Structure 1
Amino acid sequence: MNSTSPAIVAQNAVRRLPRWALIGLCAAYVLAGFWGRAPWKGADIAELGYMLEMAAGHTRWMQPTLAGLAPENDGLLAYWIGAWMLQLAPSNWAPELVTRLPFMAMLALTLVATWYGVYYLARSPRAQPVAFAFGGEARPNDYARALADGGLLALMACLGLARPSHEVTSYLVQLTCTTLTFYAVAASPYRRWTPLAALVLGLGGLALSGAPTVALVLGAASAVLTRLLSDADAEGRQRLGWPREASLAAAGVTAAVGALVYQLDLAHWRLVWPSFGETRSLARLLLWFAWPAWPLALWSLWRWRHHLRNGRWPLHLGLPICFVAVSVAITFTTQPADRALLLGLPALATLAAFALPTLSRSMGALIDWFTLLFFTSAALVIWVVWLAMQTGFPAQPAANVARLAPGFRPELSWLPLLCAVAATGAWMWLVKWRAGRHRAAIWKSLVLPAGGAALGWILLMTLWLPLLDYALSYASMVQSARALMGTATCAEVYGLSPDQTAAFQVHGDLRLVPTGSATRCDWLLVDRNQLVGWLETHDGPNWIYETNVWRQGEQRESVLVYRRAGS
């Protein structure tokens, strides 16, 4: 045991969080947002369009295009995974559901890898609590298991994790691969082959999913960290030859990934230096995106500061600090910033977990009360707005919905309603449980934050899902155009973005080709903002204007529909 540790934990404080409760919470969090939702605008539907093109053989797998447009993300791994699933699944399955299945598994793997990463870090000697004079302190394995439960709860409590982790994009692949790399370094003192396999998958997956520079930086950092650790952290060194073997393995894998990056010419880091105003915006992003993990992480660094002063940082602090620093650095230098910050959430949750043994009773009560008020109020707002959509009462929320989503007609669906009622009932039970006498468990302060975040996400994905689909998807816009086009199977496009193009492909079952290609179609789709450019550069056959369709509530994003003269 570590006599300089700020953690004072008795054995009765490390009792396990019931597995059925933890697994049920994780399952509900993973399923909500993947099941029953339409693809939303942006990368969520754009990458689905590229997957469909690749699966159908309409584009090359190494250089995919969608109606002549190259993808905005250089990472190909996500496209390959989705295309492979589309080829393996039955043809009558919805493509959006098929492509989501492996990404659901990736999110689940991220949660599992985070749990085991915290577990192995908490087992290190310098992470252990103070030894009591007459015994009774927490046993290492039980202490590590309790902190791992807390780390997983801290990750699910992060507000910024919900939406990007439930989209079929390369960013979820990057999150999973980063977490695998994190786990590989954390578990290297105790395991040999599993961490090595995780390191290969993590660094290789990062390189192929659009983050090759991050892969090389994290790989080099992992090699250095495992080599510079103090002997006190090297439990099992005689048995495994650690940290030398782990360091050499990390260096070798990093070198192999570097060769892959060079061979495939993957290194294209587009640096963006933010202005003063953008820096303030990024600072606000940090505040809410990583809430509530970042305040606990700062508290953890303060309480464990004596371990950081001598320059020989222990693994349980040095590893998550390194991963968080890399994530924050790329957040301020790349776009999109929120997706870059996503990669640091598992490490930030790890630091938050090590704050749990050091929290005072008053601070734990403050966290509970703030969480209770915040998420209960948020749930109440969601329910009131849903009631207003269904009945028109209260009048003001109903009027706000009608103003923000003109044309939206709510429909009562019993299965989502039952799921929302069950989630709300579970939250009430959780609040009642937390109000009881459960002072012993060190993970208790993160139960309400994680449960509240899951509650809010589940309510949004059940009660508000029709409204969100209406506002964030292109389904109704495509259906309006498709009703006019009849049985047409293809259309020429000009100026459409990748997500607009994918929307007509997914929702309209159309084969889209760029204007001027060898394929001749009777219909033309033109982005309204690109109309002048199209008129100036195209003197070909005459087109007859038919209609203008736009995304719900956003007339600035509209598509002009033309029919070829004589067709």
Structure 2
Amino acid sequence: MSPAKSSSPVQLTAANTGALPRVLLLAICVVYGLVGLFGRDPWKNEDAAGFGVMWQLASGGTQDWLMPNIAGRPFGEDGPLVFWVGGLMIKLFGGWLGAPDASRLSTLLFYFATCAFVWYATYLLGRRDEVQPFAYAFGGQPDARDYGRALADGALLILLACVGLAMRGHETTPQVGQVSFIAMMLYGLVRSLDKPVQGSLWVGLALGALCLSSGPILPIALFVAAIVAGAVCKPVPLRKLLTIGLPLALAIVGAWLAATYFGAAERDEAVSFIREWTRYDRRNYGGPSSQSLGFIARNFFLFSWPVWPIAAWAWFSWRGMRRAAHIALPLSLLLLLFLLLVSQRQAGDVQFILLLPPMAVLAAFALPTLTRGAINAIDWFALLLFTIFGGTVWFLWIAKTTGWPPKIANNVFRQLPGFQHSFTISAVICALIVTACWVLVVRWRLSRAPKQIWRPVVISAAGTTLMWVIAMTLWLPSINYGKTYRDVAQAAALALPPTYQCVQPIRMGNAQLASFAYFGHIRFGGPNDGCDILLRHDAVDYGAPSNLSHYEWRLIWEGRRPADRDERFRMYRLVEAPPVVAPPHPTRPRRLPRQP
């Protein structure tokens, strides 16, 4: 028995590393990834904004591909790579699926890539000598390949079990691409342990793609994390990473910057776009604020349940081997990502998913060390949580459909004023099937009592899939009605005069601008375009805009989304002011001469 193996806290037999049934694992991954992508509109806020950029690329020209924008407004918050993939999907499949559904094919590609990189990174780490279970004198310990595959199955289940991944992982945002490239970088670091050149190429490709899908700070921070991991974990080939990975990343980023600069119609516009892209990161990361820290404290632990307590247990249980690759590599990326998260001036849960790949890989190595009490606690908590959630969803849907109990039904419709409920048999059948599958998985888990190391997260992953599928089947029309701008955008388009020059948006966010441009086919312009229509977004009525010489702004339309009481849109048209007529001066009555 090698010294590395003797320090392992894991004592398992071959029976504990049996592979999860491939059909079950693939079914969970495919169903989880597909459901919720199609048959809906872009939702406020980040989802609609991301779609707006993709749609602009697909319907625009070369300048739009080099410098992404929404209806002419530059979008420099993130790099263009994720939008390129979404725009390409719209071009290829938009005529068949429609632009919104086609754009989310890019989300599906990034989702499957993330799952693959997480699985293979954990598999390669699980095959290493230092993590192998205790070797018994008469044999019986698991084979390295079987052990690695069992750990990889557990890592994938842990990733899918995260509660917050359901919504954020199905949107057309740059973050779905960023999380995939973070998983790619982690895989590259792991691959470099036994194949330094190949692993360094993966790391360079991931860093370059990450920079093109976000900003410069995130890839710089992860490269620093790789250097820290190399200093802590000696097998990491730092020299290869510096001589192969870093030049490749710089070449990828430099190619886009050069294409943007030399391919732009106006060099000043290209320079301004690139400068804005680099400045956004500096404005976004400026040190923690009490508001952002409070938001993280309230939401992060629920968002990342159950991965964060399992990952914390992995760090504790492997306390004698924290410099080993299976702890040092994911932990280094995780710490730098968390440092960036708390450094944001305005935190949002869309950034939380970036931490999930390294956290899931780290958590996978806690599975062989969990005590029976911890396993039972995770199982029963997930069983109770998702059973209650599923029952509640079904109960509310029955109340909405049948009107009984009337008080519950009225409360549901009060949240969605104007919504017309319709019964869809296919959605009900899908929800019944996934509910039956949930019952079968729970019955199999509790009756068979499997001994494999992935058993603590089967119910959690199946429960998250149940939660997402029944929400996206029974409640998809209701959710879509409450989160889309389709109706209000089409109403605004009908109020436009037959001939108008352009519409200037005032205080409209990226999601609103994208939705009004797509659903209403509204032709927007900038402040210097001399638009004769103003479309203003206000929380309260501030009155009509200031009049111009001989012209005035006349209110022609006012509306809002029925499910949102905090926003209101007002449309004004520039019309010629009526001439001001001076009031006639009062005339004094003539005094008649006095009669003699």
TM-score by length of 2: 0.86
Change (3 A) 1:194 1:25: farther
Matched, 1:170 2:182: no
- Name the amino acid aligned to 1:402: F
Matched, 1:129 2:143: no
Deviations 1:477-524 (A, max 9, x none): 123333444877975133122211111122223332235516x66x54
Matched, 1:525 2:535: yes
Instruction: Give the one of 422, 440, 444 matched to 1:433.
Output: 444
Change (3 A) 1:35 1:90: closer
Indicate the residue corresponding to 1:152 in structure 2. Answer: 156
Indicate the residue corresponding to 1:201 in structure 2. Answer: 205
Instruction: Give the one of 110, 124, 146 matched to 1:106.
Output: 110
1:93 Cα offset (Å): 4.2
Q: Does the aligned pair in 2 maintain the 1:331–1:337 contact within 8 Å? A: no
Partner Cα distance (2:181, 2:342) in 1: 21
- Name the amino acid aligned to 1:456: M
Matched, 1:321 2:335: no
Indicate the residue corresponding to 1:116 in structure 2. Answer: 120
Change (3 A) 1:457 1:502: same
Matched, 1:75 2:79: yes
SS of structure 1 residue aligned to 2:570: strand
Change (3 A) 1:480 1:7: same
Deviations 1:47-72 (A, max 9, x none): 22222223332654333333443326
Indicate the residue corresponding to 1:239 in structure 2. Answer: none
Indicate the residue corresponding to 2:458 in structure 1. Answer: 447
Partner Cα distance (1:196, 1:27) in 2: 30
Partner Cα distance (1:78, 1:537) in 2: 43
Indicate the residue corresponding to 1:249 in structure 2. Answer: 244
- Name the amino acid aligned to 2:398: L
Q: Does the aligned pair in 1 maintain the 2:164–2:353 contact within 8 Å? A: yes
Q: Does the aligned pair in 2 maintain the 1:220–1:254 contact within 8 Å? A: no
Instruction: Give the one of 313, 329, 342 matched to 1:332.
Output: 342
Indicate the residue corresponding to 2:354 in structure 1. Answer: 343
Partner Cα distance (1:228, 1:117) in 2: 19
Partner Cα distance (1:537, 1:9) in 2: 79
Change (3 A) 1:439 1:73: same
Matched, 1:18 2:21: yes
Instruction: Give the one of 317, 328, 343 matched to 1:303.
Output: 317
Q: Does the aligned pair in 2 maintain the 1:490–1:510 contact within 8 Å? A: no
Q: Does the aligned pair in 1 maintain the 2:71–2:517 contact within 8 Å? A: no
- Name the amino acid aligned to 1:164: R
Q: Does the aligned pair in 2 maintain the 1:488–1:510 contact within 8 Å? A: no
Task: Indicate the larger mover: 551-560 or 254-263.
Answer: 254-263
Change (3 A) 1:123 1:489: farther
Matched, 1:52 2:62: no
Indicate the residue corresponding to 1:237 in structure 2. Answer: none
Q: Does the aligned pair in 1 maintain the 2:546–2:553 contact within 8 Å? A: no
Indicate the residue corresponding to 2:559 in structure 1. Answer: 549
Q: Does the aligned pair in 2 maintain the 1:544–1:565 contact within 8 Å? A: yes
SS of structure 1 residue aligned to 2:448: coil
Indicate the residue corresponding to 2:307 in structure 1. Answer: 293
Q: Does the aligned pair in 2 maintain the 1:116–1:148 contact within 8 Å? A: yes
Ranges in structure 1 where 5+ consecutive residues have no aligned partner: 235-241
Partner Cα distance (1:367, 1:418) in 2: 30
Partner Cα distance (2:465, 2:172) in 1: 20
Instruction: Give the one of 505, 523, 531 matched to 1:511.
Output: 523
List aligned pairs for 1:117-516, cutoff 5 A: 117-191=121-195, 195-226=199-230, 228-230=232-234, 245=240, 248-253=243-248, 256=251, 267-268=278-279, 269=281, 270=283, 271-276=285-290, 278-308=292-322, 313-334=323-344, 335-485=346-496, 491-495=502-506, 496-514=508-526, 516=528
Partner Cα distance (2:559, 2:102) in 1: 29
1:353 Cα offset (Å): 0.8
Partner Cα distance (1:533, 1:51) in 2: 35
- Name the amino acid aligned to 2:459: L
Partner Cα distance (1:243, 1:49) in 2: 40
- Name the amino acid aligned to 1:81: V
Instruction: Give the one of 546, 550, 558 matched to 1:536.
Output: 546
Ranges in structure 2 where 5+ consecutive residues have no aligned partner: 259-273, 577-596
SS of structure 1 residue aligned to 2:112: helix
Partner Cα distance (1:490, 1:473) in 2: 27
Q: Does the aligned pair in 2 maintain the 1:153–1:446 contact within 8 Å? A: yes
Q: Does the aligned pair in 2 maintain the 1:331–1:338 contact within 8 Å? A: no
1:193 Cα offset (Å): 6.0
Q: Does the aligned pair in 2 maintain the 1:219–1:253 contact within 8 Å? A: no
Change (3 A) 1:22 1:326: same
Q: Does the aligned pair in 1 maintain the 2:40–2:101 contact within 8 Å? A: no
Deviations 1:263-297 (A, max 9, x none): 76554322243334542331222211111001111
Q: Does the aligned pair in 2 maintain the 1:177–1:202 contact within 8 Å? A: yes
Tell me the matched-pair count.
551
Partner Cα distance (1:537, 1:172) in 2: 45
- Name the amino acid aligned to 1:474: Y
Change (3 A) 1:434 1:214: same
Deviations 1:356-383 (A, max 9, x none): 1011222211111111000100111111
Q: Does the aligned pair in 1 maintain the 2:334–2:355 contact within 8 Å? A: yes
Change (3 A) 1:336 1:189: same
Change (3 A) 1:223 1:281: closer
Partner Cα distance (1:207, 1:538) in 2: 46
Partner Cα distance (1:225, 1:247) in 2: 13
Indicate the residue corresponding to 1:238 in structure 2. Answer: none
1:191 Cα offset (Å): 4.0
1:81 Cα offset (Å): 2.2
Partner Cα distance (1:534, 1:182) in 2: 55
Partner Cα distance (1:163, 1:422) in 2: 21
Task: Indicate the larger mover: 341-350 or 42-51.
Answer: 42-51
SS of structure 2 residue aligned to 1:493: strand
Partner Cα distance (2:162, 2:394) in 1: 22
Deviations 1:283-324 (A, max 9, x none): 22221111100111111111111113xxxx011000111111
Partner Cα distance (1:262, 1:224) in 2: 28
Partner Cα distance (1:466, 1:161) in 2: 21
